[in-house]
């Protein structure tokens, strides 16, 4: 029996690195796509990379989701059994500044992969599309979303991902491809990019613990998200492709917490006491220590999106039942993991 071969786009990202580790442990041959750049952006996978001249099950290939030829050539060369499309311009805020590029990568990039699979007549390939809770955006009087909830994206990123979601469904129904969507709600980890709000917070607070004098500027403190751990969620990506039939699944914890609650829990891990004062754009966070108050958190309008999504919470009942989804990380444990990791990083940077 042929060993399973996985192709992962977005291999250098948070999910791609955790998924690669998981699949290597399961004895897969893992191939990742990286974009050609003048500087290396492989820090998340450096620990598993081995020179291909030595014996290894992990390989990297230059490619780009905006280039049909490179997508076709890589799939044709590798002949994977499973394809995980995690590649995207995944920052919601950036998508407002670069909407066309976001559409090309996060939207049409998915079509390029599916069309390559169809053209090569490789119908045995199992295809996973990384979808997102940003497909929703409007509550319509409901406070929780599942697989049959109405989509109403509120950002160029969400719209691009909505195209990917539906084109995956169309190719499944039209050509009989094993093509599944994972509608993953927010998932974080110590490997989250530092421009994302959760990592921005943990990096700031751990540096503050070591004496930093900086101030943290944030947007909507009251925005609530359903936050899980990326390690839990990439395992579900794999399980989605192990089903007998292709299908779409919401992956979420079913609990929502605000940005402010994230800050409060992260602060407690560091034995910080934060006091909040003011409302709206004038709300500020003060660090209380030695009977003194230090202003450390302020609001900046530029971090508000042109179209805000205030609340997202997922109903993963289907995944709990069919995928046996049981998150190992609670919200508190997720925050602790990120803070502890970033404290080690901050200490290394000082020394």
- Average pLDDT score, the chain: 92
Q: Would you name the residues annotated as active-site residues?
A: 132, 134, 157
Flag the least confident range among 145-159, 269-283, 296-310. Answer: 296-310
The answer to whether the beta carbons of residues 206 and 339 sit under 8 Å apart is yes
Distance separating alpha carbons of residues 194 and 188, to the nearest angstrom: 11
Distance separating alpha carbons of residues 202 and 127, to the nearest angstrom: 34
Residue 339, pLDDT > 70, answer yes
Residue 50, pLDDT > 80, answer no
What pLDDT does 248 receive?
A: 98
Residue 306, pLDDT > 90, answer no
Banded model confidence at residue 305, pLDDT cuts 50, 70, 90: confident
Question: If you average pLDDT over residues 205-229, what whole number do you get?
Answer: 95
Residue 38, pLDDT > 60, answer no
Banded model confidence at residue 291, pLDDT cuts 50, 70, 90: confident
Asked if the 197-221+259-308+339-350 domain carries CATH number 3.90.25.10, the reply is yes
Domain ranges in the chain?
A: 5-190+228-255+313-328, 197-221+259-308+339-350
Residue 39, pLDDT > 60, answer no
Between 39 and 140, the higher pLDDT residue = 140
Q: Transcribe 165-218 into DSSP letters.
A: HHHHHHHHHHH--EEEEEEE--EE-TTS-TTSHHHHHHHHHHHHHTT----EEE
The answer to whether the beta carbons of residues 9 and 85 sit under 8 Å apart is yes
What pLDDT does 46 receive?
A: 76
What pLDDT does 280 receive?
A: 87
Q: Strands, E, within the chain: which ranges?
A: 5-9, 29-34, 58-62, 82-85, 126-132, 178-184, 187-188, 216-218, 224-225, 228-229, 249-251, 257-258, 274-277, 284-289, 292-299
Question: If you average pLDDT over residues 186-190, what whole number do you get?
Answer: 96
What pLDDT does 1 receive?
A: 65
Question: If you average pLDDT over residues 244-257, what whole number do you get?
Answer: 97
Give the pLDDT confidence of 65-105 residue by residue, as tens digits: 999 999 999 999 999 999 999 998 878 888 899 999 999 99
Question: If you average pLDDT over residues 18-22, what whole number do you get?
Answer: 97
Residue 307, pLDDT > 90, answer no
Percent of the chain with pLDDT over 90: 81
Q: What is the CATH number of domain 5-190+228-255+313-328?
A: 3.40.50.720
SS3 339: helix
Distance separating alpha carbons of residues 163 and 158, to the nearest angstrom: 9
Distance separating alpha carbons of residues 221 and 308, to the nearest angstrom: 12
Question: Helix, strand, coil proportions of the chain in percent (round to 5)?
Answer: 40, 20, 40
Residue 19, pLDDT > 80, answer yes
């Amino acid at each position: 029996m042929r060993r399973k071969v996985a192709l992962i786009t977005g291999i250098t990202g948070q999910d791609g690195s955790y998924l690669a580790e998981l699949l290597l442990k399961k004895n897969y041959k893992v191939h990742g796509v990286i974009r050609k750049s003048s500087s290396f952006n492989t820090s998340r996978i450096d620990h598993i990379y081995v020179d291909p001249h030595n014996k290894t099950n992990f390989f990297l290939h230059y490619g780009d989701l905006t280039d049909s030829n490179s997508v076709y050539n890589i799939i044709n060369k590798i002949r994977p059994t499973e394809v995980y499309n995690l590649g995207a311009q995944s920052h919601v805020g950036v998508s407002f500044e670069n909407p066309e590029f976001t559409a090309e990568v996060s939207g049409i990039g998915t079509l390029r992969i599916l069309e390559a699979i169809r053209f090569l007549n490789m119908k045995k390939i199992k295809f996973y599309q990384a979808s997102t809770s940003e497909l929703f955006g409007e509550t319509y009087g409901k406070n929780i979303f599942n697989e049959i909830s109405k989509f109403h994206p509120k950002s160029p990123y969400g719209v691009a991902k909505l195209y990917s979601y539906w084109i995956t469904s169309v190719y499944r129904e039209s050509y009989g491809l094993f093509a599944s969507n994972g509608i993953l709600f927010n998932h974080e980890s110590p490997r989250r990019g530092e421009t994302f709000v959760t990592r921005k917070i943990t990096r700031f607070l751990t540096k503050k613990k070591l004496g930093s004098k900086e101030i943290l500027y944030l947007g909507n403190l009251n925005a609530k998200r359903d936050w899980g751990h990326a390690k839990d969620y990439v395992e579900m990506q794999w399980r989605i492709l192990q089903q007998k039939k292709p299908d779409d699944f919401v992956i979420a914890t079913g609990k929502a917490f605000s940005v402010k609650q994230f800050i409060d829990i992260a602060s407690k891990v560091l034995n910080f006491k934060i006091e909040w004062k003011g409302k709206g754009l004038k709300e500020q966070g003060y660090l209380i220590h030695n009977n003194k108050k230090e202003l450390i958190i302020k609001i900046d309008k530029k971090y508000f999106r042109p179209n805000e999504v205030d609340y997202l919470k997922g109903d993963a009942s289907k995944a709990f039942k069919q995928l046996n989804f049981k998150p190992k990380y609670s919200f508190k444990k997720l925050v602790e993991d990120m803070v502890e990791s970033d404290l080690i990083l901050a200490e290394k940077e000082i020394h």
